[in-house]
Amino acid sequence: MSIPYRVQNPATNEVVESFDTATDQEIQDVLSKAHEAFQTWRNTSFAERAKIVNKAADLLRERKTELAKIAAEEMGKQIPELEGEVEFSANILAFYADRAEEYSADMPIEVPGGKAVMRRLPLGVLLGIMPWNYPYYQVARFAGPNLMNGNGIILKHAEICPKSSAAFEKIFLEAGLPEGIFNNVYANHDQISTIIADKRIQGVSLTGSERAGAAVASQAGKALKKCVLELGGTDPYIVLDTNDVKDAAKVAWGKRIDNTGQACTSNKRIIVMDDIYDEFVDEMVRIAKSYKPGDPLNPNEGEFYPLSSRDAAEKLNDQVQRAVQEGATLHTGGELHESAAYYSPAVLTDVPVGSESYYDEFFGPVAEIYSVSSEEEAIELANNSNYGLGGAVFSEDKERAKKVADKIESGMIHVNLPQAMTPVLPFGGVKNSGFGRELSVLALDEFVNKQSFYVND
């Protein structure tokens, strides 16, 4: 049975507002409306689409504080981080509004006996299944390229994000998007299966858990629909050497605590050379201990915030306790609030390599630190993962860091930077992190008909 759509403030665990799940008839009405609207939208020019998508970007920027407050109450992220997320979402929409026409131009192909081009044509109505951890950014990176491609969208957001998803739909309508092209639905799991199987749906994009991805991919495959999946990671973060261990720990901590550790590309396995390991761990413990619980709506420096839900906090607590039972050392933190979704920042070491906990994704403020004695050991540890999303390698010697980074099995890798955040770079992974690419111009290729158009001379 699906969890009902609601705003449940994770700072208090109070259900603030509830929303009715769509009826089966309402789902059919949305499918019909979206399919009908697509027949017109597919024939609009890139200039017409760009005007609307750019207007939506402007509205996001104008309303970033209002939108941030909505999502903060839904999933607990602090206001400044959410305002930054809304700004980035606007930049993503503008990127596609400005780039799609040039990238999607007909591509000439040299052929004997005639003339040919490859065209990128709209595919149809797409289903997007989006998670709660970046309630605006996730939608923007799905909607931006696909609206500019001339496709229609049905959005099924997380059950705890009903107001932010509705706000995004409203912004597109106010920007001039025709009714039926962007549809926010409060669908249950059975209705999602119905939507995927419906012949009016041409593709599915999901960001979420490995389990959800496997289920959606299975259903999409059965219905012969393409899907794009982003399913999380246990990203390696390798510190080979540094002239300032305390600063290196501070940078690593800043990445790990971002969004209270609830990012697919968080540095979930911090791998440190043994000659600086002890000092690095000591500094991480000191920083973690300095944090106090805070209010996401009134944030201050040195505070941590609730996870997205009480269930998420309880799951993380169970994972940490199991890791300790398997032999890990909990240096600090790991304290679960008695009723709300707060979980104090934790530092874990000595997680046994190869254990169940080692392969887990700790989706929260848990710094998992490993000691290695060589570059080869660091690479082996980094690649010993079921996932392959992102990662980073740090060294005072850039060439040394590049050499190690070249050996990491992931969809994204960074040298001397925790993560580059720009619409220009492709986003996606390998292994159980999923397949397909979002962001960059590559996202414009995921859901289009790359049609060969040949004219005989």
CA–CA distance, 157 with 131 (Å, rounded to integer)? 6
Catalytic residue among 81, 85, 159, 264: 264
Q: Other CB atoms closer than 10 Å to residue 300's CB: what's the count?
A: 9
Q: Specify the length of the chain in residues.
A: 457
- Residue 375 annotated to the active site: no
Q: How far is CA 419 from the centre of its chain?
A: 13
CA–CA distance, 163 with 146 (Å, rounded to integer)? 22
- The radius of gyration of the chain from alpha carbons, rounded to an integer in Å, stands at 23
The residue among 250, 243, 242 whose CA lies nearest residue 290 is 250
387 near 361, Cβ under 8 Å?
Answer: yes
312 near 341, Cβ under 8 Å?
Answer: yes
391 near 413, Cβ under 8 Å?
Answer: yes
CA–CA distance, 211 with 214 (Å, rounded to integer)? 5
CA–CA distance, 25 with 28 (Å, rounded to integer)? 5
231 near 341, Cβ under 8 Å?
Answer: no
- Residue 264 annotated to the active site: yes
CA–CA distance, 322 with 241 (Å, rounded to integer)? 31
The residue among 75, 205, 180 whose CA lies nearest residue 129 is 205
Catalytic residue among 230, 375, 438, 446: 230
CA–CA distance, 40 with 181 (Å, rounded to integer)? 10
CA–CA distance, 86 with 91 (Å, rounded to integer)? 9
Please, what is the angle between helix 245-257 and helix 274-290, to 10°? 50
Q: For residue 95, which amino acid is it?
A: F
Question: 419-434 burial, b if ≥16 CB within 10 A, otherwise e?
Answer: beeebeeebbbebbbb
Residues serving a catalytic function are: 230, 264
